Amino acid sequence: MSVHTKKLIKNAYRITRDRDITALRIRVPGGHLPVEYFDIIKEVAQKYGNGTVHITTRQGFEVPGIPMEMVDKVNRLIAPILKGLEKDIGVQVNDEEIGYPAAGTRNVSGCIGNRVCPFANYDTTDLALKLERIIYPNDYHVKIAVSGCPNDCIKAHMQDIGVLGQVEPLYNPDRCISCGACVDNCHKRSTGALTMVNYRVERDEKRCLGCGECVLTCPNSAWTRGSNYYRVVIMGRTGKKNPRIARTFLEWVSEDTVLKVVANMYDYIEKHIDRRLPKEHVGYIVDRTGLNVFKDEVLKEAELDAKAKVAQFIDFGRYFYDRNQM
Amino acid sequence: MGYQMSTVEFNNVISKLLLDYRILAPVCLEGKGTFSGTDLVTYGDIERIQDVVFDRKTVYSAKEAVFPPSETMFYFTEEEFKQPSVDQKGILVFARPCDINAFKRLDAIYLESGPYPDPYYLQLREKLKFVLMECDHGFKNCFCASMGTNETSDFSLLVRSEGDQIFCLINDTGFEDLISESLASNSIRKVDLQPGFVQRNKTRLQIPDKLDNSLFSHPLWQEYASRCTGCGRCNFSCPTCSCFTMQDLFYRDNPSCGERRRVWASCMIEGYTEMAGGQEVRKTQGERMRFKVMHKFSDFKKRFGFHMCVGCGRCDDVCPEYISLPRCVQKLQEIKNGGVR
């Protein structure tokens, strides 16, 4: 059997341990989808697969047990998913009848966000869709996740780009009754950025994460929501070679800045990727070029307002494999 | 006399009123709700009738107009003190019957309970006039009909909004000129207008007529000890909660100057009953809930002859732990009837 494996993989199928059998990965940007697509996923699994579906860590569905010769039929069957979840949100899909146009850039995953979660500072699915529009289809190996708040339930810290929602808390001293609930809660749950001085609350902007806990805790709306911002953590990864948690690169930046930085990152990859390798993950490119080159290139034409902070130096820490220590 | 006019014409009336009054009404503050993507409906200053939210209940009550969450009583230096000046304008508040009736409760506490009226409350209360907002249906958790606070005649104006038409009933001769001046030159029509009041709510309560100390040790309260987190939202949203505490603060740059404030206090928040020496009378949230319920539905009435609670249901609306005050009262009634536990 002749199969162009590179094309197959680019089509979001994979080479499995079973000869001639493949598995399809279905993208669900932001991890939120109308249930009508379940019917299609079910049909693919029952008709062409082995009747099961694996829920992927990136919030997609992987349908295993598909014979490779059925790929064209499967692609035609999933056309409504490509249309509804990709083309209709503005992703460039030239022909939705021939399956996914790329698989290198992974599904943008997201926590449930403010559509449901009281802690979330924004609509994560909405941002995931905007990101999907910018980064997909693309062959470069990039992983992005968006989290509603610094709790980071989606594990954005394990991604190349992790976006965490921030809100600027606004304090109205005239509504404050000095109950201290926000101060106490900030110390216990967040960073201890609040202190009570003269029966009023002072916020240390250097410590404040913008998590919004003070707004959630205040019983009298003395704390309310100001503008939304984002923290961007970068170059977290799992993998055999030096896995590590992402570190903060930007804080208090706008949605436009997040989108611009992500778009610029693809130009950066294009410029610096080691083409001798079959593929190179963006995190390893940054390891080679250094943070400053990355920073200068991704912040090109990005508008940073006065509040924005940019990391001048990042220590990713080290992961030791020295067997003598084990 | 009742009048019908367009929104534009009524806004002219508001413009005239604003010369003499600060006008407070339910407004929607977009994005100011506790949770991301939610709004806050609360009292705020308005300049046009379109700013008034007629179809939703406010989170906080109208009491803030005369009893602000934080109020400076005086500023002091070493030898002198000075009271802050007060805006000379009157205060016109859009309020529903329950909220207007709530002022009768605040009046009892601040004007009638001691040998002399509270001057800070009085100086604002004297300025206060009401614009009645009708409830064509009760809101969620309302139980005004059970408390007898669903009707009122204490209002200067009634304002009803229907499409782009405003219906306005003048119930205070002091305001007659205001409309009659506009009447000559505009298309304002005289209409028959009677205030409509809600007669039934979905939540109905029978207040037990004798709540006595025999209930103090009832296991009912233990449930609240585990459920209530003591945040105080029920008190701050309540139109009749009137407790405050004092704060003397000394300015950091010059500690020989400072001010004395009074700020809202909450019987549900830890520290409310703490005394010098560290003694605390009510230690558990169950005891605090018991105190609040007994005060609203028994103790206050013993003193003033009517219940403190006006049945607006805000405490129920805002409780993050889904504790319902009316449900608690229903349970007390069931206990009195020899039913549930």
What is the CA angle B291-B293-B297, rounded to 5?
120
For B87-143, what is each residue's pLDDT tens digit? 999 999 999 999 999 999 999 999 999 899 999 999 999 999 999 999 988 899 999
Closest by Cβ to B36, choosing from A174, A178, A225:
A225
d(CA B119, CA B121): 5
Q: From the CA of A279, how many Å to the nearest CA of chain B?
A: 40
Count CB neighbours of B267 within 10 A. Answer: 18
Which burial class, exposed, middle or buried, applies to A194 when counting CB atoms under 10 A from its CB (0-12, 13-18, 19+)? buried
- Region(s) of chain A under CATH 3.30.413.10: 109-167+228-325
Q: With b meaning 16 or more CB within 10 Å and e meaning fewer, what string describes B143-179?
A: bbbbbebbbbeebbbbbbbeeeebbbbbbeeebeebb
Residue where the block lists tokens 């009048």: B3
Q: Indicate whether B46 and B124 sit together in one domain.
A: yes
Query: Are B73 and B260 in contact, with CB atoms under 8 Å apart?
Result: yes
* Domain final position from B130, B156, B191: B191
Based on the fold, state whether residues B121 and B225 are members of the same structural domain: no
Name the closest residue on chain A to residue B236, using Cα atoms: A220
Please indicate, yes or no, if residue B35 is contained in any of the structural domains. yes
Q: How far is CA A43 from CA A36, A64, A69, B82, B258, in A?
A: 12, 13, 17, 79, 74
| Token output for A28 | 């669900």
pLDDT band at residue B339, thresholds of 50, 70 and 90?
low
* pLDDT the model gives residue B136: 82
pLDDT score of B178: 79
Please give the Cα distance from A206 to A313 (Å, whole number). 17
The domain boundary residue, chosen from B191, B224, B254:
B191
CB contact under 8 A, B232 and A199: no
Whether residue A80 is preceded by a cis peptide bond, meaning omega within 30 degrees of 0, is no
- Read off the pLDDT band of B187 (50, 70, 90): confident
**How far is residue A43's CA from residue A212's CA, in Å, rounded to a whole number?**
43
d(CA A76, CA A136): 20
In this model, does residue B180 exceed pLDDT 80? no
In degrees, rounded to 5, the angle at the alpha carbon of residue B197 between the alpha carbons of residues B124 and B177 is 55
pLDDT at A321 (0 to 100):
67
* Same structural domain, B162 and B225: no
Q: Is residue B248 part of a domain?
A: no
Residue B60 lies in a domain: yes
Task: Tell me which of A179, A202, A215, A230 to substitute to probe the interface with B (most B C-beta atoms closer than 10 Å).
Answer: A179
B307 assigned to some structural domain: yes
Identify whether B319 is part of a domain.
yes
* Residues B17 and B152 placed together within one structural domain of the fold: yes
Count of residues in chain B: 341
What's the domain range around B112?
Answer: 2-65+86-191
Most A CBs within 10 Å: which of B36, B40, B228, B323, as the mutation test of the A interface?
B36
CA B28 vs CA B58, B129, B130, B310: distances in Å: 9, 22, 20, 23
Distance separating alpha carbons of residues A295 and A265, to the nearest angstrom: 9
Q: How far apart are CA B239 and CA B155, in angstroms?
A: 17
Q: What is the mean pLDDT of chain B?
A: 94
Based on the fold, state whether residues B138 and B219 are members of the same structural domain: no
What's the domain count of chain B?
2
pLDDT at B329: 95
Contact B36 A179 (CB under 8 A): no
CB count within 10 Å of CB B109 equals 20
May I ask the CATH architecture of the domain A109-167+228-325? 2-Layer Sandwich (3.30)
For residues B121 and B66, is the Cβ–Cβ distance under 8 A? yes
Contact B171, B155 (CB under 8 A): yes
Percent of chain B scoring above 90 in pLDDT: 88
Out of A148, A178, A228, closest to residue B247 by CB: A178
* B93 and B49 within one domain: yes
- Which residue in this structure is represented by tokens 């004007």? B111
Q: Which of A118, A174, A197 sits opposite B68 (nearest CB)?
A: A174
Residue B340 pLDDT > 80, yes or no? Answer: no
Kindly list the residues from chain B whose CB atom is less than 8 angstroms away from the CB atom of residue A164.
none
CB B101 within 8 A of CB B296: no
Give every CB contact of residue B19 below 8 A, 6+ residues apart in sequence: none
Q: Which of B149, B97, B96 is nearest to B296 (CA)?
A: B149
3-state secondary structure of B71: strand
Tell whether B252 is within 8 A of chain A (Cβ): yes
pLDDT for res A24: 98
Binning pLDDT at 50, 70 and 90, where does residue B274 land? very high
In angstroms, the CA A157 to CA A164 distance is: 9
Mean predicted confidence (pLDDT) in B20-49: 97
ipTM attached to this prediction: 0.94
Nearest CA-CA partner of B271 in B243, B297, B310, B294: B243
Mark whether B54 and B109 lie in a shared domain. Answer: yes
Q: Give the residue ranges of DSSP H helices in chain B.
A: 7-20, 97-107, 119-125, 144-147, 176-185, 220-227, 233-237, 285-294, 300-304, 314-318, 325-336
Last residue of a domain, one of B130, B159, B191: B191
Pinpoint the residues of chain A covered by CATH 3.90.480.20. Answer: 5-98
Q: What is the pLDDT of residue A93?
A: 96
At the second CATH level, the architecture of A5-98 is Alpha-Beta Complex (3.90)
In chain B, % of residues over pLDDT 70: 98
For residue A217, the model assigns a pLDDT of 98
**Mutate which of A112, A127, A149, A177 to disrupt the B interface (most B C-beta within 10 Å)?**
A177
For chain A, residues with pLDDT lower than 70 are 320-326
| Domain co-membership, B44 together with B109 | yes
> Could B263 and A178 be called an inter-chain contact, meaning their C-beta atoms sit closer than 8 Å?
yes
Would you state the pLDDT for residue B242?
A: 97
CA nearest neighbour of B311 among B132, B145, B196? B145
CA distance A247 to A232: 8
Residues B126 and B32 in one domain: yes
- Per-residue model confidence (pLDDT) at position A240: 86
B145 contacts B313 by C-beta, under 8 angstroms: no
Tell me the sheet residues that pair with A110: A146
Chain B: nearest CA to A114, how far in angstroms?
6
Inform me whether the pLDDT recorded for B288 exceeds 80.
yes
pLDDT(B256) > 60: yes
B16 and B114 assigned to the same domain: yes
Identify the CA nearest to B321 among candidates B238, B230, B245, B242: B230
Residues of A near B (Cβ–Cβ under 8 Å) read: 114, 118, 120-123, 148, 165, 167, 173-179, 181, 197-199, 212, 215-222, 224-225, 228
Residue B341 confidence (pLDDT) above 60:
no
The whole-number average pLDDT for the span B5-28 is 95
Is residue A26 within 8 A of residue A81, CB to CB? The reply is: yes
Which DSSP string corresponds to B290-311? HHHHHIIIIIHHHHHSS-S---
